[in-house]
Structure 1
């Protein structure tokens, strides 16, 4: 039948084709909607499960828990999008290849940022320092206030805010002044060469032993570090908790003159 000569037949054929197309795509749309709903619910369930599961691991950082759970969530959502596009006949292989190329381009463009993220993960996992600890890392020194995935916030001894990139902190030796739970200080004291060295040693040791901030173990010790013609140098060594280090050093150094009379002068 020549449809060009029979308009009614042409309209009927067009309606039939549109109906078939509508029915076909209706199932595709319904399937896509169902996939999106199920994928969204599944992504949320897996995200919560990973977050809760990692929370049961002792010492696992909260920032890492959020990071890994969100990575799992968005990975599932990306797979759902690919599956939805496949419902409409889009070649998923080409989509995956395109996503890979886009990911590579983004990775190259954000190379420094990705280095900071990788370093942040290593810092959170290995924990060379924790929040509240005083550290010295290269030219950076201060009390750690927050460890993020991109950068770490510190506060210097004079109250200055410091934001250091994680890659910088990861590639430098870390001096953690609080990690071991105790710190040793040594005060040098000069006395006259004709003074009673043994009496001075006992006086300095007693000064440290009577300070409540000085630890009993290891015990304080005093030794002659240098004997010259003009002065004899005694070295008073003692251990304190990190939180007491600065105050104890200042107080003990100030009290050495009183312990030795007029013969000794403290030199920190």
Structure 2
């Protein structure tokens, strides 16, 4: 009997506790706890993240303006455009790295841990980026030795074009037909190239062939007059016209004329056209490959 009474009393107590729980709003308790944690996070970590992000955003804009102003001053002082463009890339990257590192420390990221991680992975990174590091070093070599500059027309073993930009890792060329070529700086600094724009003057060399039946003195006079009429050809050094070879079916004349580098191709094509027109007027023959066939009648038996 006593056991039954205690059991009933315990059951009644449990039922009353359940009834009390029904009056509790668990959603308010969860929302309140979540709100407290959100406020705590905002006041500590979140605040730091927001401040750090603002510093990076504003800092990047200030760096871009500073670098732009710095390059503008260099251009006003007639600093070579090759150097100014290279410095723009280098300074921009360097300043942004300097800005980001303190912000990472402010966020609580241990820079010593990052340094240890980079050091431990140095060998792997070096092997993976050896090509890029070579190109980066090649950019400094090009800037220091100055084998070419922006605006020069260069030719490598594979490509040729006008230098449009020298970057940290690649040099950008533009071909005559307006194609863009990116060449690694490491390749340019370690390979052979021809810089057609390095000197202010160039020499146009052309060979013209005439038939053996022509008077070579007359041909030489005609060529000299053609060269003298061209106003783009320099008088000093003086042009040179002479017989260069007695070929199998022609007498070859060489014409050497000096000009400003930017006028090279104009003179080259003008001379080719003018010589053909003048030779036709002067009845000077230009030989071309030909074959004479002699047919003999078969001997009759």
TM bucket normalised to smaller: 0.5 to 0.7
1:246 Cα deviation after fit: 1.8
Does the Cα contact within 8 Å between 1:201 and 1:222 map onto a contact in 2?
Answer: yes
1:102 Cα deviation after fit: 4.4
Distance 1:256 1:166 in 2: 43
Cα deviation per residue 1:67-124 (whole Å; 9 max; x = unaligned)? 4424542564466468758xx8x98765543343345543332222222222223223
- The alpha-carbon distance between structure 1 residues 266 and 192, as it changes in their structure 2 partners (threshold 3 A), is closer
3-state secondary structure, aligned to 1:143: strand
Does the Cα contact within 8 Å between 2:163 and 2:173 map onto a contact in 1?
Answer: yes
Cα deviation per residue 1:148-206 (whole Å; 9 max; x = unaligned)? 22222222233333222222222221111122122212221222334332332222122
Alignment of 1:1-268 (within 5 A): 52=70, 55=74, 58-59=79-80, 61-70=83-92, 72-74=94-96, 76-77=98-99, 80=102, 96-102=115-121, 104-228=123-247, 230-260=249-279, 261-265=282-286
- The alpha-carbon distance between structure 1 residues 209 and 84, as it changes in their structure 2 partners (threshold 3 A), is same
Does the Cα contact within 8 Å between 2:164 and 2:172 map onto a contact in 1?
Answer: yes
TM-score by length of 1: 0.68
Distance 2:248 2:121 in 1: 76
1:226 Cα deviation after fit: 0.7
Please list every run of 5 or more consecutive structure 2 residues that lacks an aligned counterpart in the other structure.
1-43, 289-301
- The alpha-carbon distance between structure 1 residues 213 and 162, as it changes in their structure 2 partners (threshold 3 A), is same
- The alpha-carbon distance between structure 1 residues 130 and 79, as it changes in their structure 2 partners (threshold 3 A), is same
Does the Cα contact within 8 Å between 1:256 and 1:266 map onto a contact in 2?
Answer: no
CA RMSD of aligned residues (A): 4.0
Deviates more, 1:76-85 or 1:250-259: 76-85
Distance 2:164 2:212 in 1: 49
Deviates more, 1:129-138 or 1:91-100: 91-100
Does the Cα contact within 8 Å between 2:85 and 2:165 map onto a contact in 1?
Answer: no
TM-score by length of 2: 0.61
1:252 Cα deviation after fit: 0.9
Distance 1:160 1:93 in 2: 46
Please list every run of 5 or more consecutive structure 1 residues that lacks an aligned counterpart in the other structure.
1-25
Distance 1:229 1:94 in 2: 79
